[in-house]
Amino acid sequence: MAIIYIPEILRTHTYEIPAFETWDNTLIAALHELVQSFPQIHKFLFKTESELQEHLHIFVNQTDVQGLSGLSTELRENDEVDLVFAIAGG
């Protein structure tokens, strides 16, 4: 199973769980399963059903999925998925 690590900023919407385990074999399916379990986080992850928010970067085993196959990236047992939100300030 793969593990999606929940950023601390979203944990209030996931009952404070720090990680979500999934047997889905693609990133998009795993993210949809996460949203199905915690519908409140949909707006933080997705613009549409298949388009991520612009400020969200996703890494699988520390590699940006944009350099892999994007949302179609395959997940394997023991893969680690990190959701990283870009921070802007001024």
Residue 57 to residue 73: CA distance in whole angstroms: 14
Note the pTM of the prediction, 2 decimals. Answer: 0.92
Tens of pLDDT, residue by residue over 34-56, are: 999 999 999 999 998 889 999 99
Residue with tokens 């993210």: 31
Structure tokens at 21: 């385990």
Residue 50: per-residue pLDDT = 84
Residue 89: per-residue pLDDT = 61
Look at residue 90 and tell me if it is in a domain. Answer: no
Average pLDDT over residues 60-71: 96
Look at residue 11 and tell me if it is in a domain. Answer: yes
- Domain span holding position 79: 2-85
CATH number, domain with residue 29: 3.10.20.30
How does the average pLDDT of the chain come out, rounded? Answer: 94
